[in-house]
Amino acid sequence: MTSTKTRAISLGDRGALIGFCIAGVAIAAYITVFSIIRIIELARGVDVPVLVEFIGSKTPVDLPLSTGDSISVGLDSAVITAPELPMIAIVPGIIAQIAQILTIVIVIGCLILLARSVLAGRVFSRRNTVLVATAGVTGLLGFAAVRFFDNMLANATVARITGNGVENAVISVEPFTFVLAAFVFALTSTVFVIGDRLQRDTEGLV
């Protein structure tokens, strides 16, 4: 005989999960609005601020000192205001913002659905495992795509403004951050898979 009983959670835990859901909706709304404003700014293509990353060892600049002298330092990043963006910069910039909206909405949506399931007393299930896996894969691929297209925007902007006179950073994704996120996602997914299996085995004994 099997049982599908759900387990009640405490009032404090319930309040924390509800607060998490409200915060998730607020974050998704804020980032969506911010990204839409950025898309409009990019589409205009005039006086657009763009964050650019440089190869510090190959981009020295003179830093003025209070004594009137200066020292040479490597420039890692800077915000450049482009008087006019070329289409080759506008398109990837807009794609990056769209990818950011989709990634945030899907990840937070999956986590809110997971929280609702937990509020109903069901923590481990195949549905929750799918939600965790979907959020993890979307987050990894989505943020990597945002980084990729943002770098395309930055590189195209520098090339247009400087006439290819400055060697800025190549298109890349931070490896440590990506590997760490992948590890956390794999660990969380494994926990839910094992938890679901253990729960079904336990219910089968009831």
Task: Report pLDDT digits (tens) over 121-171.
Answer: 776 777 888 888 888 888 888 988 998 999 899 888 888 887 766 665 555
**Residues whose CB is less than 8 angstroms from the CB of residue 93 and which lie 6 or more positions away in sequence, other chains included:** 38, 42, 50, 85, 149, 150, 152, 153
Question: Is a pLDDT exceeding 50 seen at residue 4?
Answer: no
Task: Report pLDDT digits (tens) over 61-76.
Answer: 777 777 877 787 777 7
**For the whole prediction, is pTM greater than 0.85?**
no
| Mean of pLDDT over the chain | 78
Q: Are 132 and 110 in contact (CB under 8 A)?
A: yes
